[in-house]
Structure 1
Amino acid sequence: MKIKKITTALALSAALVSCGQKEKKVVTSTDDNLTTVKVVKVSTEEIRDSIKVDGLLATENEAKLSFKTSGVIDRIYVKEGEFVKKGQLLAALKMTEISSQLEQAKLSVEKTQRDYERASNLYKDSVVTLEQMQNAKTAFEVAKRTLDAIAFDLQYACINAEANGFVTAKLGNEGEVTGPGIPVLTVDEASGSNDFLLRVGVTDEQWATINTGQKASVQLDAFANKTFTGYVYRKSISADKSGGSFLVDIKVNFNSQTPAVGMFGKAVIAPSKPIKEYTIPYEALIQVNGEHAQVYLAEDDHSLKKIDILIGTFNEKNVIVRSGIKEGDAVIVSNEAFLNEKSKIAIAK
């Protein structure tokens, strides 16, 4: 956005220099104390600014896969960008530690079971109390639950693909220690050509003007001279931590084409609705500094004043004014170089 504003300022400055070179001779009225000027009334114009963005292809359903238990990563069987099938083995932990935990749990179950059976028999003979027998039973139940939990975790010592898709990120490496719930792989699920999204980053100002459902046109470098249709599928409610921009997903209809995850694409998001903006000829600007500028307003037939305005984009003839003027104001568009705030003017008819 800053680059756009700087470019705008440079372009406007060049235009002002050009105008100044053409306007070498001041036009005066018959009264030597008056400078003849032309004025233009401030008008409103419906502006439809499209938003141009770029990004990378992803799929609609993204899954961050992790192990259920902690351990050392033994093998990662896939690479980034690789297509995977449902049920395919993607990664596995070293089984030595987990197998040892399982054996310990089995031994604990056997021991607590013997203790419980012995306590039950002794209780029948009134050798131990009811509390001692119940404590032995509780220890046995806890040991069984622990064994069940480790056996369950053992199933998640391997990561399998839950659906067909593409590996978009490899977040862990072989030999690293990982924990429960820590993502190791990111997989974008793909069940058809219509599941692809172009994920783009936008500024906060652009984010505020984008609504879900807005139409967009998309082009990929991989499919030259082809334009695909799409629409804004969703937009994030928080900025991306890595880049600081807001992410917007554009769902794209590729018809019979089959792209790949990670391909670079460009999109043009159509405006949701036209916005009424104040416009003035760029000849009216007397000073420009970024988005800040100044113009002369004719207050009546002979007096003027200099005001500060905030400008936006511009086209071949007009500049969009964000604030500082209102509809109907008369801006001076000629002989500004010969004016100051004490000048007297005559408005050309």
Structure 2
Amino acid sequence: MTKVLLGLLSVIMTLSAGEIYATFTVAPEQKAMLAFDASGITDRVNYDVSDSVKKGQVLASLNNRDFRASLEMAKTALKFAKKDYERQLKVQNLIDAGKFDTYAFKYENAKNEVAYAQAKYNKTFLRAPFNGVIYEKDIEIGDTVSGMMLKTVFKVQSKSKRKLILGFDQKYHQSVKVGQVFKYGVDGDSKIYEGVISKIYPFANSSNRKIKAEVKAKDFVVGLFGEGYIQIPDAK
């Protein structure tokens, strides 16, 4: 922690019983490690590191001509199964119930086959799970992907929404509450910030005897370190 930051913190903190010291690291509010759940050859990679993405956008795709052909075949089978079923439905009272059930079964099974083929086809596309930014990529056009050995090919995190992961001494577990104010500074930044505790983890780390808490923030670089004081208004 820089001398400048320590000096600024000392201005806003009196070291009274109503302030509890805590350190923190900056983490994204959301992050995800993405992998294909299918096998094939990568034929498109649409985004790179630092690119912003929106939920549902295709980040990369596999060569899927065989899956697409299977889907079209299933749709064709459904088309004719539906026609057969609708013809039999018109004369249902005139034919054997078992015969009618056969057509009904073929129709329902054809719908299931389409759903199955569609699901397999959809797996050839890797989509963004939320609005965010790509912070790591490990895939190129031509790479072989195996659904049996999942490999993370994209890492995505929220673009600006952050959370501070605080660590404070376990002896204050009864004093720290959700909603309390946290005044803090970030290493390398001369400004003093203020946030509110949004979550307290329900366990203490046995190795360092600290409890974690979270404070929502925005725009900080993920991985930065900082320190500050939790304000305890009712402390005596």
Q: TM-score, normalised by structure 1?
A: 0.45
Residue number among 173, 185, 193 corresponding to 1:219 in the alignment: 185
1:139 aligns with 2:106: yes
Matches within 5 A, 1:242-253: 247-252=212-217
Q: What corresponds to 1:91 in structure 2?
A: 60
Q: Which amino acid aligns with 1:269?
A: Y
Q: Distance in 2 between matches of 1:143 and 1:94?
A: 25
Instruction: Tell me what 2:24 maps to.
Output: 54
Q: RMSD value over aligned CA atoms?
A: 4.5
Alpha-carbon contact 2:78-2:114 (below 8 Å) kept = yes
CA distance in 2, matches of 1:188, 1:48: 35
1:267 is aligned, of 204, 208, 227, to: 227
Contact 1:232 1:248 in 2 (8 A): yes
Please identify the structure whose Cα radius of gyration is greater. Answer: 1
Asked whether 1:231 is paired with 2:196, we answer yes
Give the number of equivalent residue pairs: 210
**1:198 equivalent in alignment to 2:167:** no
| Counterpart amino acid of residue 132 in structure 2 | G
Structure-2 separation of matches of 1:142 and 1:187: 38
Task: Classify 1:160/1:57 alpha carbon distance in 2 versus 1 (closer, same or farther; 3 Å).
Answer: same
Give the Å deviation of 1:249. 1.8
Partners of 2:157 and 2:173 in 1: CA distance: 24
Partner of 1:167: 134
Q: Which runs of 5+ in 1 are unaligned?
A: 1-45, 277-349
**Which amino acid in structure 2 is aligned with residue 133 of structure 1?**
F
Identity across the alignment (%) = 16
Q: Cα deviations across residues 150-176 of structure 1 (Å, max 9, x unaligned)?
A: 436645643444654233566999644
> CA separation of 1:117/1:263 partners in 2, compared to 1, >3 Å: closer, same or farther?
closer
| Amino acid in the other structure paired with 1:272 | I
Distance 1:275 1:214, change over 3 A: closer
Give, in whole Å, the separation in 1 of the partners of 2:51 and 2:212. 24
What TM-score results when the alignment is normalised by the length of structure 2?
0.62
What CA distance in whole angstroms lies between the structure 2 residues aligned with 1:148 and 1:72?
19
**CA 1:65–1:264: 2 relative to 1, 3 Å:** closer
Partners of 1:250 and 1:108 lie apart in 2 by 55
2:53/2:134 contact within 8 Å kept = no
Cα deviation code 1:114-171 (max 9, x no counterpart): 76589x49x88x8x73212222222112212431454366456434446542335669
* Letter aligned with residue 235 of structure 1: I
Provide closer, same or farther for how the CA distance between residues 197 and 70 of structure 1 changes in structure 2, counting only shifts above 3 A.
closer
Which residue of 1 is the match for residue 9 of structure 2?
A: none
Q: Which amino acid aligns with 1:265?
A: F
Counterpart of 2:109 in 1: which secondary structure? helix
Q: Does 1:72 align with 2:42?
A: no
| 3-state secondary structure, aligned to 1:248 | strand
Contact 1:214-1:272 within 8 A present in 2 as well:
yes
Q: Is the 8 A contact 2:22 2:167 kept in 1?
A: no
- Equivalents in 2 of 1:48, 1:91: separation in Å? 52
What does the per-residue CA deviation read over 1:257-302, in whole Å, with 9 as the maximum and x for residues that have no partner? x533x141313132425656xxxxxxxxxxxxxxxxxxxxxxxxxx
Choose the corresponding residue for 1:189, options 158, 167, 171.
Answer: 158
